Amino acid sequence: MAQKSETGVGTQLILAILILFIAWVVLKWVIRVVVGVATTVVVVGAILFGLWIFANRTGSD
């Protein structure tokens, strides 16, 4: 019985580590995607904003 409970704990530990590892990999991937999207949005927004200001400036001149 004692050995069975030990192997059960070991299996749970391995499962917990596996779950944490998968969660960490997924989180890392999600963060990478979010950062990539945010960077793209900021860059595109800045370019559009710059073009809009440039268009308004040339229009007023």
More confident residue, 24 or 8: 24
Flag whether 3 is in a domain. no
Flag whether 53 is in a domain. yes
Query: Which range marks the domain in which residue 49 is found?
Result: 29-60
Flag whether 19 is in a domain. no
Question: Helices marked H in 1-61 — which ranges?
Answer: 2-60
Q: Cα Rg for the chain, rounded, in angstroms? A: 26
Determine the Cα–Cα distance for residues 60 and 56; give it in Å rounded to an integer.
6
Flag whether 24 is in a domain. no
**pTM to 2 decimal places:** 0.54
- pLDDT of 24-61, one tens digit each? 999 999 999 999 999 999 999 999 999 999 999 876 65
